[in-house]
């Protein structure tokens, strides 16, 4: 058992769901999803209890799914409503359902017991609804990597100087120590690089030419959502750590959906307080992110391949690893607490 079940995961952007059947895999479970005639997204186990054909191979008739093998039909609650060739409906023909909630154009799915699904626990941040922020939904990046490798990369400011030299990193940041703390279910790792030349993003937006103070805060929300707050401000302003909103601030959000033990989908988006409403800036920033995240993907998939070799299970820790160590410890605790009753 390697997944946290009692959590809301992203099943997809709202735009991915329509009035037709799609099959998705989350935590190694196959799920059939569709948008019903009232616009609500429905999720059922993608398996007909009769002979186990995936229901996604069947047909949507109104708001019901007709299995593609013998035509047994189920409603949105997973209840059987028709068995061709017999009048009596057997109660045992029942398909498990999942709780789904749509918020900020994102479709969330609860992977634990339905009775524990609490929509107030779904990730949110005030800037998603505030004016003065450009909110842009990006893409879904598929990685052949376990979600733990992807998540720990997102609480790791130290890799950016080496993996992302053209967009996020620079020589000035190589040896700056990483700070770290845990705030409940959020692990934070950060560092400031004071009085140094601007990096790629901020040379472009808003166009800093002189030295800046810049920051990188990585917030990893258990089990697998990352908020990266990075930004810059003219060094002359000499701002304090809690005055980052005075500068140019960009949030990159990563919603990681574990697909299986060696596959993850990273749905990413960004929010920014610069070039608000400027679609050309959005396209440019997204293209920079595409370059950046492809750099991470290359590293993470190579690591997954190496660690498929059983000899390479225990890595050697150094001081930049505090965030990742805390993250893995917390995930283990969560999984243990879910399986120990």
Q: Which residues bind Fe ion (CB under 5 A)?
A: 296
Query: Toward Fe ion, which CB reaches closer, 46 or 152?
Result: 152
Q: Find out whether 272 and 250 touch, Cβ atoms under 8 Å.
A: yes
CA dist., res. 22 & res. 173, Å (int)? 44
Query: Toward ligand FES, which CB reaches closer, 70 or 336?
Result: 70
Among ligand FES, Fe ion, none, what does residue 69 contact (CB within 5–8 Å per kind)? ligand FES
What does each C-alpha distance from 328 to 25, 113, 140, 177, 180 come to in angstroms? 23, 23, 24, 21, 14
Query: Toward ligand FES, which CB reaches closer, 94 or 275?
Result: 94
Among Fe ion, ligand FES, none, what does residue 192 contact (CB within 5–8 Å per kind)? none
Smallest separation, CB 52 to ligand FES (Å): 6
Smallest separation, CB 180 to ligand FES (Å): 51
Among ligand FES, Fe ion, none, what does residue 70 contact (CB within 5–8 Å per kind)? ligand FES
Token couple for 232: 């810059």
What does each C-alpha distance from 340 to 1, 6, 122, 336 come to in angstroms? 12, 13, 24, 6
Among ligand FES, Fe ion, none, what does residue 194 contact (CB within 5–8 Å per kind)? none
**ω into residue 206 within 30 of 0, thus cis?**
yes
Query: Toward ligand FES, which CB reaches closer, 50 or 101?
Result: 50
Give me the sheet containing 106-110, strands edge to edge: 8-13, 106-110, 99-103
Query: Toward Fe ion, which CB reaches closer, 152 or 296?
Result: 296
Characterize 210-233 residue by residue with b for buried, 16 or more Cβ atoms within 10 angstroms of its Cβ, and e for exposed.
Answer: ebbbbbbbbbbbbbbbbbbbbbbb
Smallest separation, CB 83 to ligand FES (Å): 8
Smallest separation, CB 292 to Fe ion (Å): 6
Alpha-helical regions (H) of the chain: 147-153, 160-163, 200-204, 279-307, 322-339
What does each C-alpha distance from 312 to 56, 298, 307, 321 come to in angstroms? 38, 19, 5, 17
Residue with tokens 């979600």: 147
Smallest separation, CB 160 to Fe ion (Å): 6
Backbone angles phi, psi at 120, to 5 degrees: -70, -10
Among ligand FES, Fe ion, none, what does residue 321 contact (CB within 5–8 Å per kind)? none
Smallest separation, CB 74 to ligand FES (Å): 9
Query: Toward ligand FES, which CB reaches closer, 51 or 142?
Result: 51
Among Fe ion, ligand FES, none, what does residue 117 contact (CB within 5–8 Å per kind)? none
Query: Toward ligand FES, which CB reaches closer, 70 or 317?
Result: 70
**Bridge partners (DSSP) listed for residue 258:** 264
Q: Find out whether 26 and 11 touch, Cβ atoms under 8 Å.
A: yes
Smallest separation, CB 64 to ligand FES (Å): 13
Of 62, 35, 64, 67, give the one whose Cα is nearest residue 50.
67
Among ligand FES, Fe ion, none, what does residue 296 contact (CB within 5–8 Å per kind)? Fe ion
Query: Toward Fe ion, which CB reaches closer, 8 or 268?
Result: 268
Which residue ranges make up the site for ligand FES (CB under 6 A)? 48, 50-51, 53, 67, 69-70, 72
Smallest separation, CB 54 to ligand FES (Å): 9
């Amino acid at each position: 058992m390697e997944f946290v079940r009692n959590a809301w995961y992203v099943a997809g952007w709202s735009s991915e769901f329509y009035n037709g059947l799609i099959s998705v895999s989350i935590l190694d479970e196959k799920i059939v999803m569709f948008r019903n005639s009232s616009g609500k997204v429905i999720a059922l186990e993608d398996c007909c209890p009769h002979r186990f054909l995936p229901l996604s191979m069947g047909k949507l008739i109104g708001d019901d799914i007709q299995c593609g093998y013998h035509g047994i039909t189920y409603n949105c609650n997973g209840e059987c409503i028709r068995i061709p060739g017999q009048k009596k409906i057997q109660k045992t023909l029942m398909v498990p359902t999942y709780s789904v909630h749509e918020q900020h154009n994102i479709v969330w799915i609860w992977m634990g017991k339905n009775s524990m699904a609490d929509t107030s626990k779904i990730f949110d941040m005030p800037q998603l609804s505030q004016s003065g922020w450009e909110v842009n939904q990006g893409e879904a990046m598929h990685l052949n990597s376990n979600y733990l490798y992807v998540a720990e990369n997102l609480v790791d400011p130290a890799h950016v100087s080496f993996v992302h030299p053209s967009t996020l990193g620079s020589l000035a940041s190589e040896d700056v120590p990483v700070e770290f703390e845990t705030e409940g279910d959020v692990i934070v790792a950060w560092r400031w690089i004071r009085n140094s030349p601007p990096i790629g993003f901020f040379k472009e937006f808003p166009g800093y030419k002189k030295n800046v103070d810049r920051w990188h805060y990585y917030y990893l929300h258990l089990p697998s959502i990352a908020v990266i707050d990075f930004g810059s401000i003219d060094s002359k302003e000499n701002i304090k750590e809690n005055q980052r909103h005075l500068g140019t601030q960009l949030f990159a959000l990563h919603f990681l959906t574990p697909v299986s033990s060696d596959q993850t989908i990273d749905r990413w988006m960004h929010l920014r307080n610069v070039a608000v409403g400027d679609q050309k800036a959005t396209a440019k920033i997204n293209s920079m992110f595409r370059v950046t995240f492809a750099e991470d993907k290359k590293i993470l998939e190579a690591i997954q391949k190496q660690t498929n070799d059983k000899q390479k299970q225990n890595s050697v820790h150094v001081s930049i690893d505090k965030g990742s160590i805390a993250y893995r410890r917390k995930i283990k605790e969560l999984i243990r607490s879910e399986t120990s009753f």
